[in-house]
Amino acid sequence: MTDITRADGRAVDQLRPITIERGWSAHAEGSALISFGGTKVLCTASFTNGVPRWLTGKGKGWVTAEYAMLPRATNSRNDRESIKGRVGGRTHEISRLIGRALRAVVDTKALGENTIVIDCDVLQADGGTRTAAITGAYVALADAIAWGKQKKFIAQRSEVLIDSVAAVSVGIIDGEPMLDLAYVEDVRAETDMNVVVTGRGLFVEVQGTAEGAPFDKRELDALLELGVNGCGELRELQAAALAVTDAV
């Protein structure tokens, strides 16, 4: 890495300040208010005993996610999707990504016939909302599973979580690969990539897009390395948040 400094003084391989307020919601079975710098996402996990009809009787559970943004989470106001009467393509795409990321670390047989819905609502956006959402959603999910065990909907010894999962954005700006882009960086990036990585360091999802010039294999490798390292740091922060025993 070179010694380029960024607008907010970070090194190219440095995350923004990350905070995780576990148990933020009084009602949800698991919850976390996560911030990646100015990006704040409220993640709540709703546990229901039972599964959707199409899964009934298969002895497996279901985990799904919905992502949304408050109208004034961004710099200028966006119309509500409820008022437009339709969910936009970007919203759908991110909801699906979060759901896949979480299911990659869940053993649905061990979960049993239970459903967990994770809502990720962006209260304030400053780049990287989908990666903050995944990282916070994992914490909410872990608490909802703990709740399910406490309430005996899940057997005490079931290993529902087979790994942890976190995500971070990486990108190339002025030819330089950088970690965890803030909004002002994101709009300037030539290449933008989101990586979703398990606690063991394996890839769940790699989504790289050339916003400007196409990229080559060497650049791709540099981005992946930055992303894997960033997810390693996030894993530690998730573990620290979950280590506090009486959060819920």
Distance CA 63, CA 177 (A): 33
Helix axes 129-150, 217-243, angle to 10 degrees: 40
In angstroms, the CA 129 to CA 90 distance is: 12
Strand pairing report for 39-49 and 62-69: unpaired
Q: Is 86 annotated as a binding residue?
A: no
Query: Are the C-beta atoms of residues 163 and 178 closer than 8 Å to each other?
Result: no
- Say how many residues touch its own copies, by CB under 8 A: 64
Piece of the chain touching its own copies by CB under 8 A; list 37-45, 50-58, 129-137, 149-157 = 37-45
Q: Does 17 bind its own copies (CB under 8 A)?
A: no
Kindly tell me which residue out of 11, 55, 110, 210 binds its own copies, with binding defined by CB under 8 A. Answer: 210
Beta-bridged to residue 63, according to DSSP, are 116
Q: State the CB neighbour count (10 A cutoff) for residue 197.
A: 27
Pattern of binders to its own copies over 138-167, x per CB under 8 A?
-------------------------x----
Distance of CA 20 to the CA centre of its chain: 12
Of 1, 155, 202, 244, the one binding its own copies (CB under 8 A) is 202
Q: Which of 11, 55, 70, 222 binds its own copies (CB under 8 A)?
A: 70
In the complex, the residues that contact its own copies under the rule CB under 8 A are 25-28, 31, 38, 42, 44, 46, 48, 66, 68, 70-77, 80-93, 95-96, 100, 104, 117, 119, 121, 123-124, 126, 163, 193, 198, 200, 202-210, 213-217, 220, 224
